[in-house]
Amino acid sequence: MSRSLRVAVQMDPLEQVNIDGDSTFALMLEAQARGHELWVYPVSTLSLTEGQGKGGRLQARARRVEVRRVRGDHATFGEEEILPLGDTDVILMRQDPPFDMGYITATHMLEHVHGVGEGLSLVVNDPVAVRNAPEKLLVTHFPHLMPPTLVAWDPRDILAFREKHQDIIVKPLYGNGGAGIFRIKPDDENLKALLEMHFARTNEPLMIQRYEPAVRQGDKRIILVDGHPIGAINRVPATGEARSNMHVGGRAERVDLTARDKEICEAIGPYLRDHGLIFTGIDVIGDWLTEINVTSPTGLQELDRFEGINSAGLIWDAIERRYPS
């Protein structure tokens, strides 16, 4: 593609990222290598006015940025400026969950400029689809791909599920990075206390799933671009840990896609493509799909190291196809 795009990245502080592991950093490096202009801003600087026309109604306090793979010196920033987001071509919505009302509000605001054309900017991923696809709930639309699962408020339903399946995983619906996830073994006496503590703090339901012993061999993260799998990494839990997330000590290793993995991707791929979910990551344990990550998926740099590919490049290819040369 010969055209240079104006790219705004909505993210947590760039100064604090791990340049050897952060997927947003990889996307920014690739955008810059293609000649695209980069701005960065925190979601807290978004503002929406009544105004006329789409271009200037949604703004952010952004900084031009140049990035490089140099530890301790990976970004050079320009002065903060008011950036009309409708004057950009692409907005990467890359701030981390939790998927709370602040996150949801940002998707409503970005919806005002989402699209391709004058006064519009392609938001990746589509903010409407992100808002309508909480990661742990989206998977419930594919029940034939899931392990036994319950989403409920009532402790009686949760206790009945535990009675049936014995060994279970308890998850908050809108967290990330493995935070707040518990394994409750058959002889564990803490479930009622855990439920009391959770529902004393929030009125959100919990997701309960049957524990899958296959997680000891790893929780597979499959990266999809426009609904097509480009590869996977296996995240193996640390000793004494039920969670495989790399935030809590999980170890990444190379892994191939199985026939079942490909079946899962074929089943969900059309939904992802049709809803503008360009960059997604799904979690598979054994034969079961457990999550579809659409907010700020990770794993690009690990995948590149294992497979020798340019996964950020594949994502930018998909974005650039939306724009005429």
Whether 141 shows a pLDDT value over 80: the answer reads yes
Using DSSP, state whether 180 is helix, strand or coil. Answer: coil
Mean pLDDT of 50-55: 64
The pLDDT of residue 265 = 98
Does the structure show a pLDDT above 90 at 174?
A: no
Contact between 324 and 46 (Cβ < 8 Å)? no
Q: Is the pLDDT of residue 211 over 70?
A: yes
Taking residues 95-107, what's their average pLDDT? 91
148-171: pLDDT as tens digits: 999 999 999 999 999 999 999 999
Is the model's pLDDT at 209 over the cut of 80? yes
245 — pLDDT class (breaks 50, 70, 90): low
Q: Say what the pLDDT of residue 31 is.
A: 98
Segments in 88-169 forming alpha helices (H): 101-110, 127-131, 135-138, 155-165
pLDDT at position 242 = 57
Q: Quick check: 172 and 209 in contact, CB under 8 A?
A: no
Q: In this predicted model, what pLDDT tens digit does every residue of 114-140 receive, in sequence order?
A: 998 888 999 999 999 999 987 788 999
Does the pLDDT at position 237 exceed 90? Answer: no
User: Considering Cα of 6, then 12, then 13, then 18, what sign does the dihedral take?
Assistant: negative
243 has pLDDT over 60: no
Contact between residue 222 and residue 311 where contact means Cβ atoms under 8 Å apart: no
Predicted confidence band of residue 1 (pLDDT cuts 50, 70, 90): low
Which carries the bigger pLDDT value, residue 177 or residue 44? 44
Mean per-residue pLDDT over the chain, rounded: 92
Contact 116/122 with Cβ under 8 angstroms?
yes
End-to-end CA distance of the chain: 6
Give the per-residue pLDDT at 227: 97
Quick one: pLDDT at residue 136? 81
Q: What angle do CA 253, 257, 259 make, to 5 degrees?
A: 150
Dist CA 234 CA 240 (whole Å): 18
- Which residues are known catalytic residues? 136, 171, 221, 235, 243, 283, 291, 293
- Taking the alpha carbons of 96, 102, 105, 106 in that order, is the dihedral positive or negative? negative
222 or 240, higher pLDDT: 222
Q: Does residue 89 have a pLDDT over 90?
A: yes
Predicted confidence (pLDDT) at residue 246 exceeds the cutoff of 60: no
- Residue 239's pLDDT is 62
DSSP output for 260-310: HHHHHHHHHHHHHHHTT--EEEEEEETTEEEEEE-SS---HHHHHHHH---
pLDDT at 147 over 70: yes
- Supply the pTM of this predicted model: 0.91
**Can you tell me the distance from the alpha carbon of 300 to that of 246, in angstroms, rounded to the nearest whole number?**
13
